[in-house]
Structure 1
Amino acid sequence: MANVRTKLRGLGCAEVLVNSLKNKAQDKSQAALNVKKPRRAEVNYCPQYPKGETTDSLEKERIALLSEVQKRNNDNIVTMKMQKTFSYRRQEVIQGQPFIADFKSRWPALFTEKEIDKEFLRISTVPLLSRFFYELDLYTPRMMELFRGKGGVAGRKMRHIMVAISKDDTIHTRRACILKSLCVYLNEDHEKLVKEFTVSYIHKMFCVM
């Protein structure tokens, strides 16, 4: 096991090859020199292409995905193609470091609530939303104490927000109040957060109708 990474590098494993000093020495570009190492949670940091697939074949899948994402009630096909092109997309992010606008134009299917959750699952094998709400519920009692002890204008705003819990003490109300109060605590406008969510929700409702 002492030289397992060296052996994997010799076999062409992208995950260890991308951070190889020899590989970076060959490519003097700023993007190659700034390639970050995987974090502990990034299980599938830089996966290999699926067996039998190449850069050209996965690029064709990406182009086909651009038309599939515009169709209604086509989530299953979009998810299948997003899963198939995952390794291609990850290597593009890690090695190419594209601008967000360019990446969004190439992968518009990724910028949806459902696909963001699935992409996080592909990378870390952990579901994003359920994990987020689990951690939020875990720290809710401590954050409520923190908000109650806050003074000044921000404290009054948070106490006003938390009144909703006494009227309707459900898990959804608690989460909404905690997130709104956290925005105020961080000196952010919580109304913008709710407005964005509401607009997105209404848009989804019209799409379904």
Structure 2
Amino acid sequence: MEREMLKTIPDRDMVDELMVSTFAQRRREIVGDEPLLREIRNRWPALLQERQIRAEFEGVTAQELLPSFLDGLDALVPRLLELYKSSSKSGRCRSLGAILTSLEKDNTNERKRTAVLLGLPLYLKEDSSNVFRLCDAHYDHLDEALKGMELGLLIAYEEEQDAVPHQVFDVAVVVEESIVIHHEKSVACGVAMLMGIIYAVNLEYPSAMKYTFEFLQKVVMKIKPEQASARIHGLRNKILRYNM
């Protein structure tokens, strides 16, 4: 596999076969030994490609990554937006107001998805500054933009900045202040890939956003929903009470 990945154009079918045949060994090493990311890159150089992350996630959870995330998210978007509106109006979470206002200018499905994802940590009173980070697409100081990002998304936007970017230029998944995957087409797909990497490399959720990620796992993707914490269980019940 290492030799194949050194080629300019690796044989995709061969890499797929090698990754499938070594799945059990790889899980033992990653879960048992908890290697650093650079060690995983050296040992399993194909693993951090988008195609293999999706395959690894499916092998671990028996679910397809993008469909389970996007379908689950879309089913909850209307209810979550109503919850955000109620919270903003009541004064419980005024910071959600800017996100909701940005949808008045453009409320496409993709922007609603983005609004829900960027608003979730605000609603849960969590700090997303080192996990979801926005920067101008023409910003030249990439190292500075990545500083402090142990695990998250770097969202590059064009044109004027808003609470929900109007033109997303690029979404990159960041691990240990390094870009692992980029050119994701949307924030929603970026978050899905972030979840995929967490499962593939056996990472812990960022402590500053542990409830946000728990919600994504157990409510959006329905992975072990019976193990939800009391806080997330309560939020799930509150969402389901909204009649849409």
Q: TM-score, normalised by structure 2?
A: 0.47
1:81-120 alignment runs, 5 A limit: 81-120=18-57
Q: 1:144 aligns with which of 64, 72, 81?
A: 81
Q: Is the 8 A contact 1:154 1:184 kept in 2?
A: no
Which range moves more in the overlay, 96-105 or 135-144?
96-105
Query: How far did 1:119 drift?
Result: 0.3
Aligned-residue identity in percent: 28
Partner of 1:76: 13
Residues 14-50 of structure 1 deviation map (CA, whole Å, 9 limit, x = unaligned): xxxxxxxxxxxxxxxxxxxxxxxxxxxxxxxxxxxxx
1:35-50 alignment runs, 5 A limit: none
Partner of 1:135: 72
Q: 2:127 aligns with which of 174, 187, 209?
A: 187
Give the whole-Å Cα distance in 2 for the aligned partners of 1:161 and 1:194: 18
Give the whole-Å Cα distance in 1 for the aligned partners of 2:21 and 2:4: 14
Structure 2 counterpart SS, 1:178: helix
Give the whole-Å Cα distance in 2 for the aligned partners of 1:127 and 1:164: 31
Give the whole-Å Cα distance in 2 for the aligned partners of 1:128 and 1:174: 20
Residues 71, 175 of structure 1: alpha-carbon distance in 2 compared, 3 angstrom cutoff: farther
Residues 171, 90 of structure 1: alpha-carbon distance in 2 compared, 3 angstrom cutoff: same
Give the whole-Å Cα distance in 2 for the aligned partners of 1:115 and 1:154: 42
Between Structure 1 and Structure 2, the one with more strand by share is 2
Partner of 2:62: 125
Query: How far did 1:85 drift?
Result: 1.4
2:101 maps to 1:163: yes
Q: Is the 8 A contact 1:148 1:155 kept in 2?
A: no
Equivalent position amino acid for 1:158 in 2:
L
List runs of 5+ in structure 1 lacking aligned partners: 1-64, 203-209
Give the whole-Å Cα distance in 2 for the aligned partners of 1:92 and 1:113: 20
Q: TM-score, normalised by structure 1?
A: 0.53
Query: How far did 1:95 drift?
Result: 4.1
Between Structure 1 and Structure 2, the one with more helix by share is 1
Which structure has the larger Rg?
A: 1
Partner of 1:201: 183
Query: How far did 1:110 drift?
Result: 1.2
Residues 164, 67 of structure 1: alpha-carbon distance in 2 compared, 3 angstrom cutoff: farther
Query: How far did 1:173 drift?
Result: 1.7
Residues 38-68 of structure 1 deviation map (CA, whole Å, 9 limit, x = unaligned): xxxxxxxxxxxxxxxxxxxxxxxxxxx1232
Greater relative contact order structure (CA < 8 Å, 6+ sep): 2
Give the whole-Å Cα distance in 1 for the aligned partners of 2:110 and 2:67: 13
Q: Is the 8 A contact 1:149 1:155 kept in 2?
A: no
Query: How far did 1:145 drift?
Result: 2.4
Query: How far did 1:156 drift?
Result: 4.3
Query: How far did 1:154 drift?
Result: 8.9
